[in-house]
Amino acid sequence: MAIPVILAEALTATEFFVAFRHAFSGTLRNVNRVIGIALGIYFTLIAGHLIINVIPSISWRGPIDIISVGFYVAGFAPLLSIALLELGIIEKTTLPRTSHGISYQPSHHVPYICPYCHDIRHAEPDTVGINT
């Protein structure tokens, strides 16, 4: 139990550094890549072992047992996806980046959040919130 948690924490920490420093190459990115592959494969093997050998023999005490074990075992899916992305088995898609490096534009969602803020949706992205 400790190994996947330690690897998950290490993956999260290195991912923050890679993302915020834009370090898409170098030692830190390689460490992040190795951790992602190792965690995905290791946790998939753990989940497979639990599904095949442990879960059929569990004496369930109630629905919360089923829910908690189910969510724990389901955690292999995103971790396996990370490993497959890092290995290049499934392809990464890149979103178009703007001049400030952000591809998500919250102004597209403003009408749903604040229906009276329609002026923000039609404003230029660089002028939103700037008083000239």
Distances (CA, A) of 6 to 13, 31, 112: 11, 14, 39
pLDDT at 26: 87
Q: pLDDT per position in the chain (132 positions), as tens?
A: 788 889 999 999 998 888 888 878 889 999 999 999 999 999 999 999 999 999 999 999 999 999 999 999 998 899 999 999 899 888 766 655 555 554 444 444 444 444 455 454 455 555 555 555
Q: How high is the pLDDT of residue 30?
A: 93
Task: Read off the tokens for 62.
Answer: 């109630």
Note the pLDDT of residue 90.
85
Which contiguous run of DSSP H or E holds residue 63? helix 63-74
